[in-house]
Amino acid sequence: MAKDMTLFWGSGSPPCWRVMIALEEKNLQGYNSKLLSFEKGEHKSKEVMEVNPRGQLPAFKDGKVIINESYGICMYLEDKYKNQGNKLIPECPDERAMMYQRMFEGLTLFQKLAQSLFYTRYVPENERHDSALERNTKELKDEIGRWEGYLKGNFLAGEHFTMADVIVYPVIAFLFRFGLCEEKYPKLAAYNNTLKERPSIKASWPPTWKEGPGMDTLKNL
């Protein structure tokens, strides 16, 4: 039951957002939603550390069950509420294979995004190199090109909305929020613009993104 669930989350974080999309898709509205600020360091607060000793968001409780890994939470919700809301894992083994392939490749997409966009956040000033940032950015560009090529149907794993979309959509939305050029990546842009209108995604849209425009960091990618 949603009222036994508590989610600590931060606005715009793809790992948090995917959990919120999964909760919407499984008709689990009404959970205890605790929006915290990364900027204020609230992800290191006592109430988060008690649930997630890593001091990271998301942190999630369902009654006595604690699970904090975002991929894990999504899978757990789908398993536990198999017959509630939308079915996120296809029955057909071939479609399922494609879903798993894309959802786990999503880890690489997010890693490439982070090592380019958050380079100065993660690398201390005296260890930074232009050559490293250039290489990381080139790797991100190549990775995005791969995903542009993947989109043949309407969704990441084919013609149906699946767990791959729940998990990877927030990363793709993040790229466009940081200025990815719609003309250069028309399939990803169409995907992004279609999914934006999906009820689960509209309902969970990052509140800080509604307050103003994004950045143009990736505009030349």
Interaction site with a second copy (CB under 8 A):
53, 62, 64-73, 75-76, 79-80, 93-94, 96-98, 100-101, 103-105, 107, 124, 126-127, 129, 131-132, 146
As a whole number of angstroms, the distance between CA 105 and CA 196 comes to 22
Q: Report the nearest approach of a second copy to the CB of residue 186 (Å).
A: 21
> For residues 129 and 196, which CB has a smaller minimum distance to a second copy in the complex?
129
As a whole number of angstroms, the distance between CA 34 and CA 189 comes to 31
Structural contact between residues 122 and 26, judged by C-beta atoms closer than 8 angstroms: no
Q: Report the nearest approach of a second copy to the CB of residue 124 (Å).
A: 7
How far, in Å, are 24, 111, 142 from residue 108 at the CA level? Answer: 25, 5, 12
> For residues 77 and 173, which CB has a smaller minimum distance to a second copy in the complex?
77
Q: Report the nearest approach of a second copy to the CB of residue 157 (Å).
A: 11
> For residues 97 and 215, which CB has a smaller minimum distance to a second copy in the complex?
97
* Sign (positive or negative) of CA dihedral 198, 107, 73, 150: positive
Per DSSP, the residues of 31-55 read -EEEEE-TTTTGGGSHHHHHH-TT-
Q: Report the nearest approach of a second copy to the CB of residue 139 (Å).
A: 12
> For residues 68 and 177, which CB has a smaller minimum distance to a second copy in the complex?
68
